[in-house]
Amino acid sequence: MSADFLTMTLVALCDALAAKRLSPVDLMHATLARIEATNADLNAVVALRDRDALFADARAAEERISGGKARPLEGIPLGVKDLEDTEGLVTSQGSLPLRDNIATRDSIQVGRLKAAGAIVVGKTNAPEFGHTAITKNLLFGTTRSPWNLDRTPGGSSGGSSAAIAACVLPLATASDGGGSIRIPASFTGTFGLKTSFGRVPRGRAAHWEFGDTSVYGPLTKTVEDAALVLDQTAGVSPYDPNSLPDPGLSYLEAVRGNCPPGLRIGFSPDLGYAVVQSDIAAAVEDAVKVFAKLGHRVTGVPGGPPQLGREWGILGAFELATHLHPYLPEREAEFGRTFIAGVKTGWKMTPEAWGRSAALRAQLNDWCAQTFDQFDLIVTPTVPYDPPPAKGPFPSETDGRPQAFAGVASFTIPFNLSGHPAASVRAGLSKAGLPIGMQIVGPRHRDDLVLQVARAFERERPWHPHWPTSW
């Protein structure tokens, strides 16, 4: 079965299905064939639902389309990141101790995508508990980038990003607690949006989350695709006390309209501290010129926020340690060594460490308030260097300069801690022929503005349909 329609955008695929130019059954055949053909190399998909059930769902979607009852994502195969629940499939978190953890209900996001007509095909790979930007674990192994099998597609949404970039799945879920949507989007040339905190409800969760950095958001081929997905997933839920009310607009309609004119865009090549690969810095600086061409005012951002990489790491480790406490120390050997070493840093949390983190985060908030008083948007690189090897490690230096702690997330972590929406668009290719991401950050709750500006850039520098479908 040809996979040609798998190279289509999600929006185009939905249109083809609704117009009966394509059958959901044929699309399911093509998707499963593509998974089978690529998974030995990519290892993007780590679990599949029963084939008979999948084709029964596809036939039911075909009947709804024929009867004029098609929903927005009717018949679209969906991959779910293996940190997120979908009823009847294991949510392993990429971890051996949870390899039999069958979910009894859908996450809110998955439930909404299913209600919109998407058909869950299976799970996509993720690093253990999403702890790093390289997707590998002891349970399922290493996921590789379709741009270069020796490189990582990023993490923690690495399985999803590889599947989207390689045209394996037309839709897959993703989440971002420190860059886990934007970093994989940058590494695979896809579009990724870290939504405003609360825009897409999280849960339902077994533990209350005191940390407020992680969000669900779209990781797709194009900006329009992301807007279509967000239209299905955004809106308040009683199961997430931080969820935002319905935005009162269609994101898809917003990106199809005109971008607001005369925006004040602040460009920071390094946020005052990041160590950036020279060809990536040059490519992003060139890409920023697109905004000036479109009539926006582009100027430099003075200074930068405080560095919070270590504080972000300890806060995350402390929260994760509370979840894993029942497994430790008896089952410690079943976890990855690097992962469990990171979790143990959570025991370093003290009132003094908490207070330092809180003070620095307050400084970050002040910097964001002052900066967004001067600018409508902030633009930076997404990631400071090329994708690392598929199994790691991260580079300790770039162009002869030492990398900081959590250097891969130098540009992404601040906006998880601040709650601002931030997207990654493909800005070009590095000297190694690998995708480069440019980050667009908007004011709180202005996901629509970030999407509109990203779409305006995409019109000038389109990256679709240039995808690595063979290697």
Residues serving a catalytic function are: 81, 156, 180
Could you give the CA distance from residue 145 to residue 187 in angstroms, rounded to a whole number? 8
- Residue 87 in contact with residue 104, Cβ under 8 Å? yes
Could you give the CA distance from residue 145 to residue 411 in angstroms, rounded to a whole number? 21
Could you give the CA distance from residue 133 to residue 254 in angstroms, rounded to a whole number? 31
**Identity of the amino acid at 139:** L
Using omega within 30 degrees of 0 as the cis cutoff, is the peptide bond preceding 329 cis?
yes
Regarding beta strands 119-124 and 77-81, do their DSSP bridges make them parallel or antiparallel, or are they unpaired? Answer: parallel
> What letter does residue 342 receive in the DSSP assignment?
H
Could you give the CA distance from residue 289 to residue 91 in angstroms, rounded to a whole number? 43
The CA–CA distances, whole Å, from 172 to 78, 198, 219, 372, 443 equal 5, 20, 7, 32, 26
- Residue 30 in contact with residue 6, Cβ under 8 Å? yes
Task: Report the sign of the C-alpha dihedral through residues 106, 108, 112, 113, in that order.
Answer: negative
Could you give the CA distance from residue 194 to residue 48 in angstroms, rounded to a whole number? 27
Angular region, 416: left φ>0, alpha ψ -120 to 50, beta rest: alpha
C-alpha Rg value of the chain to the nearest Å: 21
Strand ranges for 43-100 from DSSP E: 45-48, 77-81
Q: Which of 128, 124, 156, 157 is nearest to 334 (CA)?
A: 128
Helix, strand, or coil (residue 181) = coil
Task: Report the sign of the C-alpha dihedral through residues 115, 120, 125, 127, in that order.
Answer: positive
**Identity of the amino acid at 149:** L
Using omega within 30 degrees of 0 as the cis cutoff, is the peptide bond preceding 393 cis?
yes
- Burial pattern 410-445, b for ≥16 Cβ within 10 A else e, equals bbbbbbbbbbbbbbbbbbbbbeeebbbbbbbbbbbb
Regarding beta strands 422-429 and 191-194, do their DSSP bridges make them parallel or antiparallel, or are they unpaired? Answer: antiparallel
Helix, strand, or coil (residue 290) = helix
